[in-house]
Amino acid sequence: MREVIELYVNGVRHRLEVEPNRSLLSVLREDLDLTGAKYGCGEGQCGACTVLVAGRATRSCTTPVHLVAGRSILTIEGLARDGRLHPLQEAFLEVGALQCGYCTPGMIMSGVALLNANPDPSEAEIIRFMNGHICRCGTYGRIVRAIQRAAQKMKEARP
């Protein structure tokens, strides 16, 4: 049975008729053409599908879309501001924290959630927070460095 729901994605309101138990990931990718969040495991185990829901890192593959109706959703496509990449996106590029890039959108969205909650995380805090994200290319060390570098950039940018 389909229902009409409203989704707020990257600051844009969408009215969609969907089956309410479809995953947020499939609605983002197939109905809204936002393909940044990736399908990895489909079981909440790899982090490739991570987006922010009301600021919290959320596995969109296991989130029924009706649960996030009316809530603010941020995907990797909405992270840049005024044509400028987020400091964590810049840092990923600067330290080369990706190879194939499949895990990268999810890694970045979780990293942003971490930096919003804890602007100066220790290495141990970064590793603990990012635990559960899988990178098949094994770029873990550079991902940690990118988050540290973004934290430094954001600190320097604060007035």
**Contacting residue, 28, 51, 59, 110, with ligand FES by CB under 6 A:** 59
Binding mask 21-50 for ligand FES (x = CB under 6 A): ------------------xxxx-xxxxxx-
Tell me the three state secondary structure of residue 103: coil
156 class by beta-carbon count within 10 Å (0-12 exposed, 13-18 middle, 19+ buried)? exposed
Specify the stretch interacting with ligand FES by CB under 6 A; choose among 4-12, 78-86, 93-101, 151-159.
93-101
**Contacting residue, 28, 51, 52, 61, with ligand FES by CB under 6 A:** 61
Q: Contact between 58 and ligand FES (CB under 6 A)?
A: no
Contact 146, 91 (CB under 8 A): yes
Residue 97 or 151: which CB sits closer to ligand FES?
A: 97
**Contacting residue, 102, 105, 115, 129, with ligand FES by CB under 6 A:** 102
Nearest distance, CB of residue 146 and ligand FES, angstroms? 12
Residues 88-126 as b/e (b if ≥16 CB within 10 A, e otherwise) read: bbbbbeebebbeeebbbbbbbbbbbbbbeeeeebeeeeb
CA distance 86 to 79: 6
Nearest distance, CB of residue 3 and ligand FES, angstroms? 23
CA distance 96 to 145: 10
Q: Contact between 96 and ligand FES (CB under 6 A)?
A: no
Residues that bind ligand FES (CB under 6 A): 39-42, 44-49, 59, 61, 98-104, 135-137, 139
